[in-house]
Structure 1
Amino acid sequence: MEYGKVCLRRGEETDLRRGGFWIYDNEIDWYDDICPAGGIVDVIDSRRQFVARGYFNPRSKITVRVLTRDPDEVIDAAFFRRRIEAAWAFRRQLGFSDACRVVFGESDGLPGLTVDKFGDYLSFQIVSLGMEQWKDAIVETLIDLFHPAAICERGDVPVREKEGLPQAAQVIYGTLPELVRLREHDAWLYADLLHGQKTGHFLDQQENRGRLKPYAPGRTVLDLCCHSGGFGIHAALYGAQSVECVDVSEEALALVRKNAAENGVQVTTTCANVFDLVKAYDEAGRRFGLVICDPPAFAKSRKALEAAYRGYKELNLRCLRLTEPGGFLVTCSCSQFMTPPLFEKMLTEAAGDVGRPIRLIETLIQSRDHPACLTAEHALYLKGLIVQVL
Structure 2
Amino acid sequence: MKTILVIEDTPTMRTNIAEILQLAPYQVVQAANGKEGIEQARQTHPDLILCDIRMPDLDGYGVLHILRKDPDLATVPFIFLTAMAEAADFRVGMNLGADDYLTKPFDDVTLLGAVELRLKKAPVIPTNPDAGSDHLTSLRQAILEDNNARQSLCDHYPTTQYNRKHRLYTAGSWPTALYFMSQGKGKVVKADVAGNQYITGLIGPGDFVGYQALLTQGPYTDTAELLEDALVCTIPAADLRELLDTLPVVANQFNQMLASEVANLQNQLLKDAYQSVRKRVAEALLLVQRTFYPQPDANLSEDRIPGNRAHDQSLPMSLSRENWSDLVGASTETVIRILGDLRAEGLIEINGSQITLLDRDRLTNLKR
Q: When you count helix as a share of all residues, which structure comes out higher? A: 2
Q: When you count strand as a share of all residues, which structure comes out higher? A: 1
Instruction: Provide TM-score, normalisation by structure 2.
Output: 0.30
Instruction: Provide TM-score, normalisation by structure 1.
Output: 0.29
